[in-house]
Amino acid sequence: MQATIFDADLRICASKRRRTQGGEGIKHGVDRIVRTMETVLSAADLTPDDLRGIGIGCPGPLDLDRGIVLEAPNLGWENMPVAESVRQSLGCPVVLLNDVDAGVYAEYRRGSATSSRCTLGVFPGTGIGGGCVYEGKILRGALSSCMEIGHLQILPDGPLCGCGQFGCLEALASRLAISAAAAQASYRGQAPNLRRLAGTKLSNIRSGVLAKAIRSGDTVIEDIVRSAATYLGAAVAMLVNLISPDTIVLGGGLVEAMPELYLESVSTSARARVLPSYRDSFRVVAAALGDDATSTGAAAWAQEALENAEVELPKAGKSP
């Protein structure tokens, strides 16, 4: 969880990070969000009255008009009224958007996709999020966010996903899926470097550790990661055939730790599966904004919404 204050030119004034906790109830989850925002306001010597608006990027499908997180399986959230709860606590207009949508929008505004007409973003992490910016607007459904690429069914008889379905991309190619396969390889003695670095405990097998194991010579770990990236490329190919994006942005911890492996594997897999006329129609690039992407995109989208009066205008405030 990251709270960042930006000025009117999207320059960072102050930022605070806290570890996200799964399984939080609605009240506790909102309280943590508000407390984090209050902490960063204090660090910047500001109060909620100084804010023009708040943008919040949250995982999972969302009811965008009502500001509700419909479900976030990895956090244990369901029908969570984030926007209204934060608005009541801080007295400031709140815009809710999907966290990956926010990251993709940030890359479109200030990152690696600034010249694109249609940007598709894919962010493999604990889950796999997707987002799309088309002609400057975040692609959304009539009521909710969309582009849940992590829940495209890749293998109908594949492993169980956190959403309750089988064979979703997330169950095959998320960091959790990769780490689980890597832990088995470590346990079997097939990945001695990983065993030395992290043992066999799933929570110790993070993106950076996987990258170190590969650099140290654990070819089985590289095979596991490449297999996951190939599945990711297959899902990307489906979306290229549907919407023909000119830029595909890959981000998240796995990509940051192994950019060359991911860019090459996803690009090769996708180009092998799209219609021939689409093979040279897109580029695959790494996200440029790192940990600041979601907060930057949320702030930029809130600014856009306020300027276009898509939410209730705030009372007069200062530049942040």
The CATH number that applies at residue 136 is 3.30.420.40
| 174 lies in the same domain as 277 | yes
**Which among 27, 39, 30 is positioned nearest to 3, based on CA atoms?**
39
Residue 91 region by backbone torsions, left for phi larger than 0, else alpha for psi between -120 and 50, else beta: left
**Which among 213, 208, 293, 222 is positioned nearest to 255, based on CA atoms?**
208
- What b/e sequence results for 34-58 when a residue is b if at least 16 CB atoms lie within 10 Å of its CB, and e otherwise? bebbbebbeebebebeebbbbbbbb
| 261 lies in the same domain as 277 | yes
| 20 lies in the same domain as 72 | yes
pLDDT at 315: 42
Name the strands in the sheet holding 62-63, side by side, starting at the edge strand that comes first in the sequence: 62-63, 68-72, 77-80
pLDDT at 115: 87
pLDDT at 19: 67
Determine the 3-state secondary structure of 257 from DSSP. helix
| 277 lies in the same domain as 297 | no
**Which among 228, 221, 292 is positioned nearest to 255, based on CA atoms?**
228
| Assigned domain for 109 exists | no
| Assigned domain for 158 exists | yes
| 130 lies in the same domain as 241 | yes
**Residue numbers of the domain that contains 17:** 2-102+291-307
| Assigned domain for 214 exists | yes
| 72 lies in the same domain as 142 | no
| Assigned domain for 206 exists | yes
| 6 lies in the same domain as 121 | no
| 266 lies in the same domain as 296 | no
| Assigned domain for 312 exists | no
Virtual torsion, Cα 152, 155, 159, 163, nearest 10 deg: 20
| 248 lies in the same domain as 157 | yes
What token pair was written down for 48?
């909620």
| 222 lies in the same domain as 130 | yes
Supply the DSSP symbol for 282.
Answer: -
Supply the DSSP symbol for 153.
Answer: B
- Cα 23 from Cα 1, distance rounded (Å): 14
| 122 lies in the same domain as 251 | yes
Domain count, the chain: 2
| Assigned domain for 226 exists | yes
pLDDT at 172: 97
pLDDT at 28: 72
pLDDT at 320: 44
- Cα 152 from Cα 168, distance rounded (Å): 5
166 in Cβ contact with 156 (< 8 Å): yes
| Assigned domain for 107 exists | no
| Assigned domain for 313 exists | no
pLDDT at 162: 87
| 207 lies in the same domain as 68 | no
Mind listing the pLDDT tens digit of every residue in the chain (320 residues)? Answer: 889 999 988 899 988 887 665 555 556 777 888 888 999 899 899 999 999 999 999 887 889 888 998 887 666 778 888 899 899 999 989 999 999 999 999 999 999 999 899 999 999 998 899 999 999 999 998 888 889 999 999 999 999 998 899 999 999 999 999 999 999 999 999 999 999 999 999 999 999 999 999 999 999 999 999 999 999 999 999 999 999 999 999 999 999 999 999 999 999 999 999 999 999 999 999 999 988 899 999 999 999 988 886 544 434 344 44
